[in-house]
Structure 1
């Protein structure tokens, strides 16, 4: 623990959490001259960021009820914001990020598409969705036995590992691995006064909570000082199946179900040994919360037989992953429509709520700090302090360990 006699390093902003929110905000604030340190208890991106499917969508998957909701309208511009950054012309330079798919697809299982046809053809969606001819179907659906319809969406999918690495590289020296057992936080009713690390103490003017699931424990400490007592966290769980196979089909798509949410959402990821992983979300993952791993795997096999009877998954490997999506508490556990950022005294509490809304989160934080000017230079931190390192996607250790 830092000795009280040692120098305390002043800092403009301390950011807790090295996932997409913390890394994005640190880059954005450093560009504007603020001195920042990111504190991460695990690996960078190792929580929700690398557990996400990497989908940067414009909200159309929330319009399956036949109308554009406030949620879908709020994020309609997000794919273009991301594309600008991926081209090096947006909020941040993300030219190092690998795009897995420049578009995403929406497909119907049989006759379900009929109730969406008029809506999808409406002027409201022109330019954002396109019905495809058979020859343009993704390979997994390009079979004469397929009886549905396929649409192309104005969405994209990125490799989250390369996203984390690209955001971490410019700020690597200020991303600290903070062992919570050896870190002491000194709170006051106006904010965080001091952070004691093993070799140094930091005194931030402002603190940003961007730790996803970790925000809850940090908020509890702030609440003890009667700070931000009106802000609480909630989790919405998922149980995500993963299917490892050696077929050549890379699919990035939502399947239209009977409800106003996708029946199944598929993204495809490389394992590096020539095999592919289909990472499955949507209603299957939401229903899977109440199932054990064997039960969800059985449900997944049944779903794949029903949706892809022409594909052979008999030699595929299956696994599941439980994910907690962290966000601000809403009445009735409703999903927030936008990114969330609130400021109480010198404390900012943030959740992007969805990967795609991260640029929106950046806008909101910059607006809250609009009247704040940088004051302290970026500190030179001791090289002996451990730096947080980028994490790996969960399917690597899961399949390399259990299905080698």
Structure 2
């Protein structure tokens, strides 16, 4: 008997690389269409970008502060409604049971830019999409009489990324496999991935999707040796996020607008098992922080909180820093992409969602490419061999930063 005859072989319709929001969204969507799918993850499910995100599902208004709706904000304007439909079980990916941390977000200004915001948000372009709040409607963190700015409500939601991971993993748990680069092997051909060998099991897909975030760069390099995607390339935009563990009790989901046309600070709130809260800080603070040491970034975060919330005492708070890399298709001057990204070359598709909120848009784009490929659902795979290791779920970063399990 030959070695190939002894080797268990699986022939899924689609093999997906990457167990973050992109890969998990796609395997759920394609499974609902009847395709037999397997997914490979080298680390933990959601353990890179997904569980490091703030969980913000926004519709682009925070990018519209330059005075007009950009192509970026137009592209994502419908995303909050798509996510709400999925949470209600009315979308192609069922997110029933997903925990929503906030149904809406706030956008607040310091006193110095309040007048500019008033005229901008009163424009006909944004009427009905944003609401100016009265003082008795302010979130508790901004309710102090010393706050002199303005607060608006955005029709954007914030989801719990740990819950999101659980909802997406549960229907496809048995199809999520662990790929060990030190042991397992990939075999490329002229039209795409010929096979993946995982712990003695051979997987021969009809179509392969690269949805591995930062891992796409290495996979793309291998594919290019087989003369696939010769002009594609990846980029990584670093951020230095700050986590603040405190007992102040204020839950805030908001963007602070300063003098520029992007958020000065973005705050989301997350729970720890001991009852404390974590404020997760992004925005301009995180972008500028990549040029600082961890100690310098923490000092900058403390100074920013003291400036924006002088009535709150963060003296007993614990601070931590987390470096995050946003993996994307390469853009001129490392600019942020406007849309989800998906391209096909023969039997290979490469994807980046570019933002958590754009996962439904990525699903639409991949659906269209699968249809163009002419792929039809094949026979069920049946029970998978015991030799195939399953991928483990990741954990929110704030648990690890503050010693919670």
- Normalising by structure 2, we get a TM-score of 0.97
CA distances 1:134-181 after superposition (whole Å, capped 9, x unpaired):
000000000100000000001000000100110000000000011111
Contact between 1:106 and 1:152, CA under 8 Å: does it hold in 2? yes
Name 2:378's counterpart in structure 1.
375
Cα distance in 2 between the residues matched to 1:244 and 1:293: 16
**Deviation at 1:376?**
3.5
2:391 equivalent to 1:388:
yes
- Give the equivalent residue in structure 2 for 1:215: 216
Q: Give the equivalent residue in structure 1 for 2:59.
A: 58
Give the Cα separation in 1 of the matches to 2:383 and 2:341. Answer: 31
* Equivalent-residue separation in structure 2 for 1:310 and 1:99 (angstroms): 28
8 Å contact from structure 1 (residues 191, 227) kept in 2? yes
Kept in 1, the 8 Å contact 2:201–2:387? The answer is no
Q: Which moved more, 1:247-256 or 1:363-372?
A: 363-372
Mind listing any 5+ residue stretches in structure 1 that lack a counterpart? none
Q: 5+ residue gaps in structure 2?
A: none
Instruction: Tell me the residue number matched to 1:32.
Output: 33
**RMSD across aligned C-alpha pairs, in angstroms?**
1.3
Partners of 1:162 and 1:214 lie apart in 2 by 24
What is the CA–CA distance in structure 1 between the aligned matches of 2:286 and 2:334, rounded to whole Å? 17
Find the aligned partners of 1:328 and 1:37 in 2 and give their Cα distance: 24
Kindly provide the CA deviation profile for residues 283-326 of structure 1, in whole angstroms up to 9, marking residues without a partner as x.
00000000011000000010000000000000000010000000
Q: How does 1:222-301 map to 2 (within 5 A)?
A: 222-301=223-302
For 1:223 and 1:217, locate their aligned partners in 2 and report how far apart those are by CA, in whole Å: 10
- Identify the residue that residue 204 of structure 2 maps to in structure 1: 203
1:66/1:116 contact within 8 Å kept: no
Partner Cα distance (2:108, 2:201) in 1: 55
CA deviation string 1:98-126 (max 9, x = no partner): 00000000000112121121221122212
**Mapping of residues 4-403 of structure 1, within 5 Å:** 4-5=4-5, 6-370=7-371, 371-400=374-403
Q: Is the 8 A contact 1:128 1:154 kept in 2?
A: yes
Alpha-carbon distance in 2 for matches of 1:193, 1:62: 42
Aligned-residue offset at 1:383: 3.0
Aligned residue for 1:24, secondary structure, equals helix
CA displacement 1:312-352 (0-9 Å, x = unmatched): 00000001000000000111111110000000010000000
1:232-260 Cα offsets, whole Å, 9 max, x none, are 11000000011000011000000001111
The alpha-carbon deviation at position 388 of structure 1 amounts to 1.1
Do 1:113 and 1:256's aligned partners in 2 also have CA atoms closer than 8 Å?
no
How many residues of Structure 1 are paired with residues of Structure 2 in the alignment? 401
Whether the 8 Å CA contact 2:11–2:381 is kept in 1: the answer is no
Are the aligned partners of 1:23 and 1:167 in contact in 2 as well (CA < 8 Å)?
Answer: yes
Partner SS for 2:380:
coil
- Whether contact under 8 Å (2:209, 2:350) holds in the other structure is yes
Q: How many angstroms does 1:379 deviate by?
A: 4.0
